Amino acid sequence: MNTINNPDNSAINQWPAPAKLNLFLHITGRLDNGYHSLETVFQFLNYGDTLTIDVNTSGAVTLSPEIVGLAQQDNLIYRAAMLLKPYAATTAGATIELTKILPMGAGLGGGSSDAATTLVALNQLWQCQLSNDQLAQLGLSLGADVPIFIRGFAAFAQGIGEKLTPVFPPESWYLVIWPGVGVCTKEIFSAPELTRDTDPISISQINYSLLTNDCEKVTKKRYPEVAKALEWLIQYAPAKMTGTGSCVFGEFSSQQAATVALEKLPKSMLGFVAKGLNKSPLASKLCQSTLSV
């Protein structure tokens, strides 16, 4: 079975950095600063990266393992820790180990989720006492998706993704497929043929089975592996692309049905089965950690 296994993050010093899905994605305009205005619904998965964090008073932040081609000072996890350091009540230090399973350029929010988990965990461990609003503001400087992971609830997002309204989509089972390629978000949003004038909708108009991803057509054209994954998955369930790709997901009525489809996955693709969650595993971990103090 071509499965990406989910690591155990049950230890007290292990913090989940969950994946997200965009249940649809509309591009409603282009802003003067080059960003795009959008509408989407984010939902979390019970699946993702894990950060093992041990704090100390050395004043140093160390991150492992090294990512080839990425300097530590450019890593979103390290940058998040440095943003928070001035607010710490003590001489803040930490050793952070990343267990990475979410592919890069997959549309699952891996880097943003890692950064958000760093901010949320260290805010507690370093006794910074910043509010979620303050953490979200810090996180926004790292990426438009970081605040959704800090807030920790499924949300209808507007603006560049920072205006969040809680929603409660069905907590379905999903088969998520990674076709073996990473997609460059900048490339997709720069494409001349990208639809940028989809009419805005209200929360009352959301119909998950009918709404689509405006980036899907462009991404399939430029990344045939994504088109192939969608073509295969749609045989078994309604299928869409998440974010700007490259992962695609199908909604199933049960874990068993999704697992049966996963067992038939072509060898050229990897996949996993996960449950949609309207409360983030990170938010749940924070509650447990707070109660245990």
Q: In this predicted model, what pLDDT tens digit does every residue of 156-196 receive, in sequence order? A: 999 888 889 999 999 999 999 999 999 999 999 999 999 99
- pLDDT tops 90 at residue 80: yes
The predicted structure's pLDDT at residue 226:
97
Share of the chain above pLDDT 70, in %: 98
Phi, psi of 136 (to 5 degrees): -65, -35
Q: What is the mean pLDDT of residues 46-65?
A: 96
The predicted structure's pLDDT at residue 291:
54
User: pTM of the prediction?
Assistant: 0.94
- pLDDT tops 80 at residue 1: no
The predicted structure's pLDDT at residue 161:
84
Q: What is the mean pLDDT of residues 81-85?
A: 96
The predicted structure's pLDDT at residue 216:
96
- pLDDT tops 60 at residue 24: yes
Distance CA 40, CA 157 (A): 5
The predicted structure's pLDDT at residue 70:
83
Share of the chain above pLDDT 90, in %: 84
pLDDT category, 290, cuts 50, 70, 90? low
**Catalytic residue annotation:** 20, 145
The predicted structure's pLDDT at residue 72:
87
The predicted structure's pLDDT at residue 265:
97
The predicted structure's pLDDT at residue 292:
54
Q: What average pLDDT is seen over the chain?
A: 93
- pLDDT tops 60 at residue 2: yes
Q: Cβ-count burial of 162 within 10 angstroms (0-12 exposed, 13-18 middle, 19+ buried)? A: middle
- pLDDT tops 80 at residue 42: yes
Query: How distant, in Å, are the alpha carbons of 116, 138, 162, 203, 260 from that of 147?
Result: 7, 9, 7, 20, 35
Q: Where are the beta strands (DSSP E) in 67-132?
A: 93-99
CATH fold, domain 1-293, is Ribosomal Protein S5; domain 2 (3.30.230)
Distance CA 167, CA 72 (A): 36
**Hey, what are 136's tokens?**
């979200």
Query: Could you state, in order of their start, the residue ranges of all structural domains in the chain?
Result: 1-293
Query: How distant, in Å, are the alpha carbons of 33, 224, 275 from that of 252?
Result: 39, 24, 10
Q: In this predicted model, what pLDDT tens digit does every residue of 225-273 receive, in sequence order? A: 999 999 999 999 999 999 998 999 999 999 999 999 999 999 999 999 9
